């Protein structure tokens, strides 16, 4: 009887706490975000890109894995992508793009604020356009879309193509 109770509790925990479907769904979202970001790269005019195109991913290991997988064999204008983990503002200053998945909101807002004068495209999973992000993902009728602030992006010295603006929701 005790053995059955233990198996039942472990099964319940495995189904409800360690929900692999939820984890899989989140990793799928990160995969979609990385594919969108690749298209953002192609539809923005970049100045002063060094020997490689650096994409920083703040926080979550699952997001970092998906971005690394997506960008591993790609390049842009003859430059290889370097996807790296970012944990501090000083590390982000080396990036062309900083992707911020859902995380500690107060630290995220302070990071966005600290980067406001740098030529870094800040892309967020949460809607943080009002806090200074250039692009934020959103779900509309269960479909992934994005908001883009043309003015904030161009204030960073980046030129957004009209085709990218036509695909997203332009704000500010």
Kindly tell me the number of DSSP H helices and DSSP E strands found in the chain.
7, 10
Domains of the chain: which residue ranges? 21-171
Kindly tell me the burial class for residue 27, based on how many C-beta atoms sit within 10 Å of its own C-beta (0-12, 13-18, 19 or more): middle
Q: pLDDT tens digits for 98-132?
A: 999 987 778 888 899 999 889 999 999 999 999 99
Using one digit for the tens of pLDDT, what is the confidence trace for 56-102? 999 889 999 999 999 999 989 889 999 999 999 899 988 999 999 98
Kindly report the pTM of this predicted structure: 0.82
Please name the fold of domain 21-171: Rossmann fold (3.40.50)
């Amino acid at each position: 009887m005790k053995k059955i109770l233990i198996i039942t509790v472990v099964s319940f925990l495995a189904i409800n706490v360690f929900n692999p479907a939820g984890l899989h769904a989140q990793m799928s979202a990160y995969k979609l975000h990385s594919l969108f970001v690749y298209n953002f790269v192609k539809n923005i005019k970049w100045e002063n890109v060094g020997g490689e195109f650096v994409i920083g991913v703040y926080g979550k290991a699952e997001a970092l894995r998906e971005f690394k997988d997506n960008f591993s064999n790609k390049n842009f204008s003859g430059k290889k992508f370097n996807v790296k983990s970012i944990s501090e503002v000083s590390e982000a200053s080396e990036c062309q793009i900083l992707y911020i998945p859902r995380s500690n909101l107060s630290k995220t807002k302070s990071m966005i604020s600290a980067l406001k004068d740098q030529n870094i495209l800040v892309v967020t999973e949460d809607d943080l356009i009002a806090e200074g992000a250039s692009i934020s993902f959103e779900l509309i009728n269960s479909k992934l879309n994005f908001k883009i602030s043309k003015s904030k992006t161009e204030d960073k010295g980046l030129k957004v193509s009209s085709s990218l603006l036509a695909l997203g929701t332009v704000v500010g």
